[in-house]
Amino acid sequence: MLSIKNLNSYYGRSHVLQGISLEVPAGRITSVLGRNGTGKTTFLKTLMALTDRSTGALVLDGQDISSAQTHQRARAGIAYVPQGREIIPDFTVRENILMGSFARADRKHVVPELVGELFPYLVENFDRQGGLLSGGQQQQLAIARALATGPKLLLLDEPNEGIQPSIVEEIERAIVRLNRELGMTVILVEQNIAFAREASDHFAMMEKGSIVAQGPVSALTDDLVHRHMTV
């Protein structure tokens, strides 16, 4: 699905990502793990061309997207749910979701039926302003907006951070369903090791802007977690 080779990324003169190489298999969930400040969010932003500068090779489904701009990568099939959700508070739920549809390759401006199946609350509150939703509901909205792009690859940056437990369970179920029932490829930045082990097929552990371990999730040992994630 996505081949990443010798990826470097910069904010101004700061060299944040350093020589990352990773193969993201189609139809699988790959979790990106590590302490805060190790470059996980920058990694996702780099995949969306949202840093100042990057070098290296990115190949998505055989298409070289290394020099593609953000909107071109979105149209190629990459959708991004950022850590801060970044919904538009004055837009309605429907309008926020439809914002994602502008990245669709077929140019159809529709709310996917899947949104109602995964997050019925959103469909029941189409005309409510996004800014009036709870944090967990806004996270559901951000995922729904990403699904409106019709993605091949979904990038999720700590989707359960700071969210009430009842909605965390809904979001976790939705992520697993998107992958296991619909075959969507997912890169998941996650701090919850239990969920990463349950949902993921593969993992990559980051430290100081580099990948220090990767492989099948069965190789995500307690020792690795202790060495690279405990404070």
CA angle 52-57-62, nearest 5°? 125
CA 52, 54, 60, 63 torsion: positive or negative?
Answer: positive
Overall average pLDDT of the 16-33 stretch = 96
Overall average pLDDT of the 84-106 stretch = 92
Q: Outline where DSSP puts E strands in 12-113.
A: 14-24, 29-33, 53-60, 63-64, 78-81
* Domain at 2-229, CATH homologous superfamily: P-loop containing nucleotide triphosphate hydrolases (3.40.50.300)
Strands 185-189 and 202-207: unpaired
Q: Which residues pair with 22 in a beta bridge?
A: 4
Strands 202-207 and 210-216: antiparallel
**The whole model's pTM is what?**
0.93
Closest CA to 37 of 11, 13, 57, 19: 11
What percent of the chain is modeled with pLDDT above 90?
87
pLDDT in tens, 150-194: 999 999 999 988 888 888 999 999 999 999 988 999 999 998 999
What's 92's DSSP letter? B
CA angle 87-195-82, nearest 5°? 20
> Helix count (H) and strand count (E) of the chain?
9, 10
Secondary structure of residue 218 in the 3-state scheme: helix
**pLDDT tier for residue 108 given thresholds of 50, 70 and 90:** confident
Overall average pLDDT of the 98-110 stretch = 88
| C-beta of residue 118 within 8 angstroms of C-beta of residue 174 | yes
Task: Give pLDDT, residue 127.
Answer: 96
| C-beta of residue 103 within 8 angstroms of C-beta of residue 71 | yes
Task: Give pLDDT, residue 162.
Answer: 83
